[in-house]
Amino acid sequence: MQHHGLRRANERAVLRAIGFNPGLSNAEISRLCGLAPQTVSAILTNLEKSGLVERGEVLRGRRGQPATPFFLRACSGFAFGVEIGWNHVDVLLLDLHATVLSRRQARYEFPQCETVIDLVAKWTAELGAHLQEPERARLLDIGVAIPSNLVAKLQRLDAPEDAARQWAEIDLGAVLKERTGLDVTCVNDGSAGCWGEFIALPQPRPANVVYLLASSFIGAGIVEGGALWEGAGGNAADLGAMLVPTEHDGPQTAHAIASVGALRQRLAAAGKAQETHLPAQWDWDAIAPEVDLWIADSAKALAQTVFNTATVVETGTVVIGTMLGDDITARLVERVTEDLAALPVTYARPPRILPGQLGGLAPAIGAAELALLRRHF
């Protein structure tokens, strides 16, 4: 590598070490990155001058010399996170500590290309205006979480034919960059949600994570060795498309059983259709029997999906989130854990099934985090 390239690579290694392990000392960073202490010291000095890291209070009372912990400065980097979903668009502003500073959301029956772009351009301008001038100069990126198969599945939402055609013909990243002046990173919504939940896990963070999100369809992602699977087409972990057996209808995809879209179809068939796409406004008491059945069927489907995935990807942690609130998520996670244990197989060590912490915001948060990751780390 050329000298400046090596220096930049070392800077990114040190920044990543601090970002993923806040509070590391110079010596700990040196051991983790395999760099000489003098090299790390020089890099930390430069990162401090650039405003990317800051020192914490000196840690005394430990063996050896007092150690100084280093942390990322929250205000040293900002990004917008955008999720373009089947029934909603979310835009949020995130800092380098992954704190959501502000947010906008709109609901619709299906995503209309021009309307969504207008909203994203409008809201990013509004949210960015709340930053002070020095901070605004550190707002450089938009991360966009969007379904990889948006065009193909729009027909399932009874969208007009020209809606799919407009999405097929547009270069979304180029248009948003022209409208906002910011660099744009587009990523599959399931992968973005996976990254968001991966970063939200407490230390010590596992290196391998499988993620499932019950939304309009099943969003999914895989982190292995601390790296996000994306694949050549950007849709490397469409676990919701995995076939699972059912008692009466033969093999079905997990999308068709465990998604919120499947729940809405179940409610409509029972004559209890919920008019709004906002679960917080649903009549949960009236639909309790259908929700109970959906949780039972979804848990079986997701347990089989988890098992099949674990035969290919060695993982000890599975995160399951929903857009239906903490209570439903907790119930679903509990049933998946039970159904996974009941499968006629023997695990040396079955994976932990954890509830997602970010709910339906995971894709937008993860998209912003991935934009910051690729910018700084």
Q: To which H or E segment does residue 223 belong?
A: strand 218-224
Given a contact cutoff of 8 angstroms between Cβ atoms, the answer to whether 355 and 333 are in contact is: yes
Q: How far apart are CA 356 and CA 366, in angstroms?
A: 13
Task: For residue 228, count other CB atoms closer than 10 A to its CB.
Answer: 21
Pairing relation of β-strands 317-322 and 209-214? parallel
Q: How far apart are CA 41 and CA 38, in angstroms?
A: 5
pLDDT of residue 33: 94
Give the gyration radius of the chain's Cα atoms.
Answer: 22
Q: Helix or strand or coil: residue 357?
A: coil
Select the more confidently predicted residue: 53 or 156. 53
pTM (2 d.p.): 0.93
Structure confidence by residue, pLDDT tens digits, 319-365: 999 999 999 999 999 999 999 999 987 666 789 999 999 999 999 99
Which residues, in sequence order, are CB contacts of 179 under 8 Å at separation 6+? 117, 120, 121
Amino acid at residue number 286: A
Select the more confidently predicted residue: 4 or 104. 104
Q: How far apart are CA 112 and CA 114, in angstroms?
A: 6
- Specify the residue for token string 């076939």: 243
pLDDT of residue 60: 72
Structure confidence by residue, pLDDT tens digits, 145-193: 999 888 877 866 677 888 888 998 999 999 999 999 999 999 999 999 9
Nearest-5° Cα angle at 131, 185 to 183: 15
Q: Helix or strand or coil: residue 3?
A: helix
Residues β-bridged to residue 79: 94, 141
